[in-house]
């Protein structure tokens, strides 16, 4: 699963388009800096979050703060 | 991948998390800009090497002028283009430190080209990261030496004419022709559209993460390392964020082919 | 030429003014807050309205740009470049060479806060660099200080005229505010002057060749050349001091300021007069040669209080002190870091000083 820091998100949607499971979507509401921040949905359109971490690596703003996986 | 242990929440552990090498300050970079991504990659590499307290970052002039606000290390400001010279000075007297600079295509390929060529030629053990978005970003969208033919900028309002302004400069190729550098690599950093699907590939970031780490390793082994990140500038190219990724992958990736150009220490094979 | 009012930005007005003055070549390097100058020129390049504008080239740094200007100007062409603080520092070597070789051209410095990278707000802290010769060796240039977008449009023509008349680089010291502000102006009718350049390097004709040099290994030669430059600067000093006065004829206290600060001081003078203080304003238009004659004559007339207002920690104030030769008190008001003082600030300080 993904922990998001919505107050620094600039709604660039790079994570949205990179997520193979489509777990991420821009929110309807606005954050403090005036952008639509991204929201995490564990059960995505194409499947559940696999903690692949691609969103973490493409985010330019550290809005994807943590990627957590089930304990090994 | 960095793994940080955190207090378990319902059977989860942190796979990728907050880095002490980032100050946590929100960036001034435009939405979707690769400068932000590179900042993350650099912070990650410094953390993996455990070098946060032995790193000095050199701020350049351009969009990366505020790098010290985001990367949690010591820093010194360089005049426009002079970062390789400043880094040389630092390393000569303190060879134990890790030094690097993030330079734009104006800073490194225009005004600072001489300093870059000579530091590279002498094989100074420093690291230069070039963010090539084919335009001058911070100053409002003027032509850069890397601007492709025909591109409209504020100083080429009718499109860049190579006849008058000279050819497009390829810094990676230029440096690979010199004896001095130990590691010269070009990475296509932006997310890339995958065919006709609506999925974008993040391979640029993953390749970038490896390359930044390798560049630092080369420096610590005494070599000059240089990584050029072909990027985007949606604001000054006057495109949407995703359009700019597509443009970069269709035009810039061909003009500036990604790849490993020099690897004298074989760091990528290890 | 259009005669209606146009609402123009300072930097644009300067660029268009240079074009109307018949500039032939512009060598660019962008730096905030002067980039609108090359951007305007890039747009107007190849426009049928400016047939004299034959060359627009963006250089790779300010060193390239100034040396390209020197090359073009050494053939007698009208050339110009514009920059701000850090770029202005880079150009000093070129300006020193050009002053020694007596090559005429225009360099615009849009003064932002400094030193170092500073910020993008207005300052007047490049005054010393511009007027005392920021490059090596003993030379001077002519320095013009516009204070309105109207003057930004008119001064390039004046600059070229002075440059070619005296065979010297001419600098325009513009504060960042003036470069960015928009005002209504009417572009002045500018006759494009044709300058005689018998000294230019355009290929030796007949027996005589033109050598444009600054190296004089023989001490006698160098000394003669330096003396020649000295007399030239004395000539310029005698003939080209320019200033503007406002309500000085019956003034008790005179403010001295240039650039955008002079506009604030003018307002402060009006506010002081309304409060019964007989204030006036002396505005240097040329910073080099410094209009010492005009200032001294005010003091000779009996004005005993001078207040210098600048956006720096005290640069022009020294020239003012020298000019008044100790015959008046010289006080100093300043603001730094990109801030402008308000006219109320100035009024308050002048009132304190006048007591």
Give per-residue pLDDT as tens, B153-169: 999 999 999 999 999 99
Kindly report the average pLDDT of chain C as a whole number. Answer: 95
Residue B137 CA to residue B229 CA, distance in Å, equals 15
Residue C192 predicted with pLDDT over 90? no
To test the contact with chain A by mutation, choose from B64, B205, B208, B240 the residue with the greatest count of A C-beta atoms within 10 A, namely B205
CB contact under 8 A, C35 and B61: no
In chain A, residues with a C-beta closer than 8 Å to the C-beta of B71 are none
For residue C49, which of C115, C117, C2 has the smallest C-alpha distance? C2
Residue B19: pLDDT above 50?
Answer: yes
Tokens of C330: 């010289």
Contact B155 C42 (CB under 8 A): yes
Q: Parallel, antiparallel, or unpaired for β B200-201 and B98-104? A: unpaired
Are the C-beta atoms of residues B116 and B108 closer than 8 Å to each other?
Answer: yes
Tens-place pLDDT, residues C321-331: 999 999 999 99
Pick C42's closest partner by Cβ from B79, B113, B157. Answer: B157
For residue C117, pLDDT beyond 70:
yes
Q: Does A14 touch chain B (CB under 8 A)?
A: yes
pLDDT at B133: 97
Task: Quickly tell me which residue has 């070129």 as its tokens.
Answer: C94
CA atoms of C341 and C333, how far apart (whole Å): 9
CA B203 to chain centre: 16
Quick: pLDDT tens for B35-91.
999 999 999 999 999 999 999 999 999 999 999 999 999 999 999 999 999 999 999
CA B93 to chain A, closest CA, distance in angstroms equals 34
Run of H or E including C14 = helix C10-20
Which chains does C contact via 3+ CB–CB distances below 8 A?
B
Please check whether residue B55 is in contact with residue B86, taking contact to mean a CB–CB distance below 8 angstroms: no
Average pLDDT (B221-237) is 98
- Give percent of chain C with pLDDT exceeding 90: 91
CA distance B167 to chain C (A): 13
Question: Can you list the residues of chain A whose pLDDT is less than 70?
Answer: none
For residue C94, what are the contacts with CB-CB under 8 A and spacing of at least 6? C63, C66, C67, C69, C70, C135
pLDDT surpasses 60 at C59: yes
C230 against B195, higher pLDDT: C230
CA distance linking residue B55 with residue B37, whole number of Å: 19
Q: What is the pLDDT, as a whole number, of residue B8?
A: 45
Does residue A29 sit at the B interface (CB-CB below 8 Å)? no
Mean pLDDT, range B216-244, rounded to an integer: 97
Residue B136 sits at the chain C interface (C-beta within 8 Å): yes
Contact flag C35-B113 (C-beta cutoff 8 Å): no
Interatomic CA distance for residues C327 and C310, integer angstroms: 21
Partners of residue B33 in chain A, C-beta under 8 Å = 60
Q: Calculate the CA B120 to chain-centre distance.
A: 16
pTM given for the model? 0.89
User: Whole-angstrom Cα distance, residue A18 to residue B222?
Assistant: 37
- Dihedral of the CA atoms C109, C112, C116, C119 (nearest 10)? -150
Percent above pLDDT 70 for chain C: 99
Is the pLDDT higher at B270 or at C48?
Answer: C48
Residue B2 has pLDDT above 50, yes or no: no
B: neighbours with 3+ CB pairs under 8 Å?
Answer: A, C
Cβ contacts (< 8 Å) between A67 and chain B: which residues?
A: 14-17
| Chain-chain contact of C117 with B113 (C-beta, under 8 angstroms) | no
pLDDT per residue over B112-155, tens digit each?
Answer: 999 999 999 999 999 999 999 999 999 999 999 999 999 999 99
Under 8 Å between Cβ of C333 and C264: no
- The answer to whether the CB atoms of B111 and C86 lie below 8 A apart is no
Whole-number Å distance between alpha carbons of B95 and B99: 9
Residues C334 and C313: beta-carbon distance below 8 Å: yes
Q: What is the pLDDT of residue B270?
A: 73
Contacts of B9 in chain A (CB under 8 A): 68
Q: ipTM score here? A: 0.95
- Other CB atoms within 10 A of residue B56 CB: 19
Specify the pLDDT at position C2: 54
Q: A72 contacts in B (CB within 8 Å)?
A: 13
The per-residue pLDDT of chain B, averaged, comes to: 94
If phi > 0 it is left, if psi is from -120 to 50 it is alpha, else beta; for residue C259 that is left
| pLDDT, position B9 | 58
Q: Which of B12, B18, B205 sits opposite A69 (nearest CB)?
A: B12
Share of chain B above pLDDT 90, in %: 93
The rounded distance, in Å, linking the Cα atoms of C324 and C298 is 9
């Amino acid at each position: 699963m993904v922990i998001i820091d919505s107050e620094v998100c600039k709604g660039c949607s790079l994570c949205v388009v990179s997520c193979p499971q489509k777990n991420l979507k821009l929110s309807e509401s606005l954050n403090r800096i005036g952008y639509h921040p991204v929201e995490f949905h564990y059960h995505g359109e194409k499947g559940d979050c696999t903690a692949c971490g691609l969103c973490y690596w493409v985010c330019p703003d550290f809005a994807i703060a943590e990627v957590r996986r089930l304990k090994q | 991948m960095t793994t940080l242990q955190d207090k378990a929440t319902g059977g989860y552990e942190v796979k990728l998390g907050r880095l002490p090498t980032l100050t946590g300050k929100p960036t001034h970079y435009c939405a979707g800009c690769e400068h932000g991504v590179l900042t993350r990659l650099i912070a990650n590499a410094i953390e993996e090497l455990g070098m946060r307290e032995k790193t000095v970052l050199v701020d350049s002039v351009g969009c990366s002028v505020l790098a010290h606000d985001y990367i949690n290390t010591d820093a010194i400001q360089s005049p426009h283009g002079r970062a390789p010279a400043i880094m040389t000075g630092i390393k000569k007297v303190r060879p134990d430190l890790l030094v690097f600079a993030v330079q734009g295509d104006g800073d490194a390929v225009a005004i600072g080209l001489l300093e870059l060529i000579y530091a590279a030629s002498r094989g100074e053990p420093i690291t230069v990261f070039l963010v090539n978005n084919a335009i001058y970003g911070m100053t409002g969208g003027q032509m850069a030496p890397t601007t492709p033919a025909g591109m409209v900028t504020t100083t080429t309002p009718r499109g860049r004419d190579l006849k008058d302004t000279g050819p497009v400069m390829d810094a990676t190729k230029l440096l690979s022709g010199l004896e001095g550098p130990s590691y010269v690599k070009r990475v296509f950093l932006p997310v890339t559209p995958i065919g006709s699907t609506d999925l974008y590939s993040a391979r640029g970031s993953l390749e970038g993460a490896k390359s930044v780490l390798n560049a630092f390793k080369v420096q610590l082994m005494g070599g000059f390392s240089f990584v050029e990140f072909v990027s985007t500038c949606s604001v000054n190219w006057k495109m949407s964020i995703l359009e700019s990724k597509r443009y970069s992958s269709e035009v810039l990736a061909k003009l500036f082919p990604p790849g490993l150009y020099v690897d004298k220490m074989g760091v990528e094979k290890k | 030429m259009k005669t209606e009012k146009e609402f123009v930005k300072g930097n644009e007005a300067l660029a268009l003014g240079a074009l109307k003055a018949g500039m032939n070549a512009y060598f660019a390097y962008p730096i905030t807050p002067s980039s609108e100058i090359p951007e305007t020129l890039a747009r107007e390049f190849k426009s049928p309205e400016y047939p004299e504008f034959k060359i627009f080239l963006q250089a790779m740094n300010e060193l390239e740009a100034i040396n390209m200007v020197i090359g073009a100007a050494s053939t007698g062409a009208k050339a110009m470049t514009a920059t701000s603080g850090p770029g202005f520092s880079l150009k000093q070597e070129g300006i020193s060479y050009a002053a020694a070789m007596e090559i005429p051209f225009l360099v615009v410095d849009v003064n932002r806060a400094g030193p170092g990278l500073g910020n993008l707000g207005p300052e007047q802290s490049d005054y010393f660099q511009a007027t005392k010769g920021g490059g090596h060796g003993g030379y001077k240039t002519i320095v013009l200080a516009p204070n309105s977008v109207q003057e930004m449009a008119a001064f390039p023509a004046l600059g070229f005229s002075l440059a070619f008349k005296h065979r010297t680089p001419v600098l325009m010291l513009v504060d960042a505010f003036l470069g960015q502000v928009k005002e209504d102006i009417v572009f002045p009718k500018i006759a494009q002057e044709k300058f005689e350049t018998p000294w230019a390097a355009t290929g030796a004709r007949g027996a005589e060749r033109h050598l444009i040099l600054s190296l004089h290994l023989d001490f006698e030669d160098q000394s003669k050349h330096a003396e020649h430059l000295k007399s030239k600067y004395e000539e310029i000093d005698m003939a080209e001091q320019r200033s503007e006065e406002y309500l000085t004829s019956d003034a008790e206290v005179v403010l001295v300021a240039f650039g955008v600060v002079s506009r604030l001081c003018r307002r402060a003078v009006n506010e002081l007069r309304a409060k019964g203080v007989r204030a006036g304003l002396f505005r240097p238009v040329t910073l080099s040669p410094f209009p010492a004659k005009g200032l001294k004559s005010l003091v000779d007339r009996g004005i005993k209080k001078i207040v210098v207002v600048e956006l720096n920690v005290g640069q022009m104030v020294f020239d003012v002190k020298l000019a008044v030769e100790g015959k008046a008190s010289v006080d100093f008001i300043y603001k730094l870091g990109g801030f402008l003082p308000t006219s109320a600030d100035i009024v308050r300080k002048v009132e304190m000083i006048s007591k």
